[in-house]
Amino acid sequence: MGYKVALVGATGNVGREMLSILDERKFPADEVVALASRRSMGVEVSFGDKTLKCKDLETYDFSDVDICLMSAGGAVSKEWSPKIGAAGAVVIDNSSTWRMDPDVPLVVPEVNAAAVDGFTKKMIIANPNCSTAQLVVALKPLHDKATIKRVVVATYQSVSGAGKDAMDELFSQTKAVYTNSEIVNTKFPKRIAFNAIPHIDVFMEDGYTKEEWKMMAETKKILDPKIKLSATAVRIPVFVSHSEAVNVEFENPISADEARDILRNAPGCLVIDKREPGGYVTPYEAAGEDATYISRIREDATVENGLAFWCVSDNLRKGAALNAVQIAECLINRKLITAKKKAA
């Protein structure tokens, strides 16, 4: 018997991507329900060759739902995830609300699939931040081999990570540059067209931004609390896919050739690494793909046991929607949930 899946936030970038991925991966769902706020009630969204009409989250009965994919932002998740969990559905949440809760597993299936077993405490599983997800997919096999001590990462993050309005702003500002029109900033603090903004999320007391803090805290929770990590998160004028320049210091020796071989065989990783023009992956090529692409793998002679590499992934897919669907598949494959009996 198939599962009943509810998707909260079906009209957003990530919600629409989740519907697309559920269909692509032939997820074993008998029924998929699209949910949104009251103002989006009746809005139609595509699910394979079907069209779903959004229903109102506030009046929906979750008692026969097996899995709820939540992609409606932190405030909605904080209010609704516990209620939906109490009704008996497992909530897989894409916001930052539950990630650091000790009773909520934070899961990237290629890295720590066994952690899903802890979902029963709150009936919630958290999806990590988009920039963390691709990073830990690349770090995990290297950590298993040589034990990571320290990571320094600079991100080059696409505007889709800030939602549809941010994508629209990049488009309209780019057009304004070419037509010599007024450039309006609403979503970003400075113009994003033909620019780079070293500021994602709010600033914290120590000078880091919340986005940078998330990468540090989430990597520790998912991979290893002993890893030290420093990040600089930068927004760039790209529509989809986040890129990262990663520098890693290990406890034990590891060569670039060893790292290349390890990553080639690691789940979720694709190595494209030729030392020639174009022998690497850019955000444009990673868009629409599931893999975390790794290029420019090289030894860092400035530290003992150091490596540097370039890592790119579609932030709407592996960074959000795909990871959530993979978590749902993990629950099923590990036989942690069964479909509820449907009323006759």
Active site residues: 130, 242
Please tell me whether residue 331 adopts helix, strand or coil conformation. helix
Q: Give the C-alpha separation, 121 to 117, whole Å.
A: 10
Q: Give the C-alpha separation, 35 to 54, whole Å.
A: 5
Bridge pairing between strands 269-271 and 242-250: unpaired
User: Percentages helix, strand, coil for the chain, rounded to the nearest 5?
Assistant: 35, 25, 40
Structure tokens at 107: 């899961």
Please tell me whether residue 339 adopts helix, strand or coil conformation. coil
Q: Which H or E run contains 284?
A: helix 283-286
Q: Is 31 left (phi over 0), alpha (psi -120 to 50) or beta?
A: beta
Q: Give the C-alpha separation, 231 to 88, whole Å.
A: 38
State the DSSP code for 197.
Answer: B
Dihedral sign computed on CA atoms, order 162, 33, 289, 77: positive
